[in-house]
Amino acid sequence: MSLFTDPRWGEALSHLPDYLGNHVRVSLAALALGLAVSLPLAILTRNRPAPRGILLALASIVQTVPGLALLALFYPLLLLAASVTLAWFGVSFSAFGFLPAMLALALYSMLPVLRNGITGLNGIDPALIEAAKGVGMTARQSLVMVELPLALPVMMAGIRTAAVWVIGTATLSTPIGQTSLGNYIFAGLQTQNWVFVLFGCVASALLALAVDQLLGLIESGLRRRSRLRSGLGAVGMAALVAATLVPTMGRSSQGYVVGAKTFAEQYVLSALMKDRLQAAGLSATARSGLGSSVIFEALKAGDIDLYVDYSGTLWANQLHRTDIKPRAELVAELKTALAKDNITLLGELGFENAYALVMPRKRAEALGIRTIADLTAHAATLSIAGDYEFFSRPEWAALQKAYGLQFRAQRQMQPDFMYAAVASGEVDVIAGYTSDGLIAKYDLVTLDDPKHAIPPYDAILLLAPKRAGDERLQAALQPLLGKIDIATMREANLRASGNDANSSPDAVARWLWEKIKQ
């Protein structure tokens, strides 16, 4: 199939009004806030070297924080602030999506605006400021009628830089729940959908380029004192903003919001749930690519209505439990605990996505290894690989303790590469995920855990507090419960990891539904 006739372009295009509109909205708000804070600060500190130095140093420090980290930082900060305002004033606000993204991006925009504002104001010929005084201007009149207009071209250059930075960095606001052009990139990277990745990159680059050129036109108009140029630039900017915002305006009710974390299985499951809700006549949208720590809080706060999590994850992260119980018992206890927060644990989907030690089938058979206990005797001659967090997780400590495992070497790897590495013999054992499609593809086996050192990770469907008594919602989701076994989910995940038209989350979700609906 040719790259140009790939139906995924059409699918990508269908998201454009939503993604682009939200991208422009958050960028615009961030830039406006950044300007509203930075310009007065630049004016106030222009003649005060000490505070000016401190301010520029702070802004520079903010700039050195990676964009993704800055955005991620604002989520817990706002969450804390929201709990404080709730406790003190009885009002809370959503720490999810727009607000943290806007604040972080506004902070990010401050350095160029501050720096150019101060440079512009300090670069004015002192004789002109003297002249402003001499013709009888007050300090304020001198600022408004002489200094600001003369500094404007330099300030505009700073605003232009800030705008390009904000538009670029806004693509990273997807994991904290702000829809943006980054949704294409995050989804594409996770599901190996390069059409989406390309589309997202090109769209955000084009947007940044267009804004840069239009602001550049305004800037050169200000420099050359050409009203025509500045006017054209301003009209162009207004047209661009209107064209991107208007298509999504007035869409007040989004209906049910289905959340998804940042990996392929989650994209598929959220697409499946969205389809089920729509089939039941309920309007639903997917909010994908949410960070693992963001998504549960978002559900609790009602920013999303439903998503799939894994029992062991909540057991450790939300209940802070380290003991291990059998699958059904753990889910039952979790259900009771979550009910205290009014969160509904609707039920299990049927499969587990747990950590498991994985080996090539032939190798395991040759060595006579069926369980982790069998592995203990061979471990000293074998190497193991895991993802970036596995070796610091409690599961690994529990495994080592329960079975006395001591491997010859341990390595960290990108999850996608681990399976190929173990299949080719580059490493002997990997800590994989039980629902991963690559297990079947490479003919690997998961080793049993007779001592139950690894907690169960049942996929469970969670509903937000405000949907607790929602019978239509629950009825629509009922057909999914207990229907997805591990083999089916593995095959779905394998399909989703392909790079063709049938591997988009929507396409895989349709395949999955056909498979389980009887």
Which residues are within 8 A (CB) of 14 and not within 5 positions of it... i.e. 6 or more apart? Answer: none
Among 127, 252, 323, 414, the residue binding another protein under the rule CB under 8 A is: 127
Q: Which is nearer to another protein, 145 or 198 (CB)?
A: 145
Among 95-103, 127-135, 233-241, 402-410, which window interacts with another protein (CB under 8 A)?
A: 127-135
Task: Report the alpha-carbon angle 278-280-285, nearest 5.
Answer: 25
Among 33, 137, 205, 501, the residue binding another protein under the rule CB under 8 A is: 137
The least CB distance from residue 131 to another protein, in Å, is 3
The least CB distance from residue 147 to another protein, in Å, is 10
The least CB distance from residue 136 to another protein, in Å, is 3
Task: Report the alpha-carbon angle 163-106-174, nearest 5.
Answer: 85
# residues near another protein by CB under 8 A: 17
Among 47, 85, 138, 499, the residue binding another protein under the rule CB under 8 A is: 138
Q: How many CB atoms lie within 10 A of CB 294?
A: 25
Q: Is 146 in the site for another protein (CB under 8 A)?
A: yes
The least CB distance from residue 231 to another protein, in Å, is 16
Q: Is 225 in the site for another protein (CB under 8 A)?
A: yes
Q: Is 136 in the site for another protein (CB under 8 A)?
A: yes
The type of residue at 335 is K
Q: Is 135 in the site for another protein (CB under 8 A)?
A: yes
Burial of 418 (0-12, 13-18, 19+ CB in 10 A): buried
Q: How many CB atoms lie within 10 A of CB 377?
A: 11
Q: How many CB atoms lie within 10 A of CB 317?
A: 13
The least CB distance from residue 161 to another protein, in Å, is 23
Secondary structure letter of residue 247 according to DSSP:
G
Among 63, 92, 141, 410, the residue binding another protein under the rule CB under 8 A is: 141
Q: Is 198 in the site for another protein (CB under 8 A)?
A: no
Among 79-87, 135-143, 383-391, 447-455, which window interacts with another protein (CB under 8 A)?
A: 135-143
**What string of DSSP letters covers 145-200?**
IIIHHHHHHHHHHHHHHHHHHHHHHGGGGGGGT--STHHHHHHHHHTT-HHHHHHH
Among 49, 90, 134, 469, the residue binding another protein under the rule CB under 8 A is: 134
Using CB under 8 A as the binding rule, the residues of this chain from 147 to 166 that contact another protein are 149-150
Using the Cα atoms of residue 290, residue 291, residue 296 and residue 300 in order, give the sign of their dihedral. negative
Q: Is 133 in the site for another protein (CB under 8 A)?
A: yes
Q: Is 245 in the site for another protein (CB under 8 A)?
A: no
Q: Which is nearer to another protein, 81 or 145 (CB)?
A: 145
Smallest Cα–Cα separation from 476: which of 485, 466, 467?
Answer: 467
Smallest Cα–Cα separation from 72: which of 366, 376, 293?
Answer: 293
Q: Report the distance separating Cα 332 and Cα 204, nearest Å.
A: 45
The least CB distance from residue 124 to another protein, in Å, is 10
Among 96-104, 143-151, 211-219, 326-334, which window interacts with another protein (CB under 8 A)?
A: 143-151
The least CB distance from residue 155 to another protein, in Å, is 13
Q: Report the distance separating Cα 288 and Cα 177, nearest Å.
A: 8
Q: Give the per-residue contact string, 87-126, with another protein (x = CB under 8 A; - = no).
A: ----------------------------------------
The least CB distance from residue 47 to another protein, in Å, is 17
Among 139-147, 250-258, 354-362, 510-518, which window interacts with another protein (CB under 8 A)?
A: 139-147
Which residues are within 8 A (CB) of 406 and not within 5 positions of it... i.e. 6 or more apart? Answer: 379, 380, 400
Burial of 491 (0-12, 13-18, 19+ CB in 10 A): middle
Which residues are within 8 A (CB) of 362 and not within 5 positions of it... i.e. 6 or more apart? Answer: 443
Q: Is 254 in the site for another protein (CB under 8 A)?
A: no
Q: How many CB atoms lie within 10 A of CB 417?
A: 13
Q: How many CB atoms lie within 10 A of CB 466?
A: 11
Secondary structure letter of residue 422 according to DSSP:
H
Q: Report the distance separating Cα 122 and Cα 356, nearest Å.
A: 63
The least CB distance from residue 126 to another protein, in Å, is 11
Q: Which is nearer to another protein, 132 or 382 (CB)?
A: 132
The least CB distance from residue 127 to another protein, in Å, is 6
Q: Which is nearer to another protein, 123 or 255 (CB)?
A: 123
The least CB distance from residue 232 to another protein, in Å, is 19
Secondary structure letter of residue 143 according to DSSP:
I
Q: Which is nearer to another protein, 153 or 291 (CB)?
A: 153
Q: Which is nearer to another protein, 223 or 321 (CB)?
A: 223
Q: Is 128 in the site for another protein (CB under 8 A)?
A: yes
Among 10-18, 44-52, 132-140, 405-413, which window interacts with another protein (CB under 8 A)?
A: 132-140
Please report how many Cα atoms fall inside a 13 Å half-sphere around the Cα of residue 83, on the Cβ side: 7
The least CB distance from residue 222 to another protein, in Å, is 9
| Binding stretches for another protein (CB under 8 A) | 127-128, 130-138, 141, 145-146, 149-150, 225
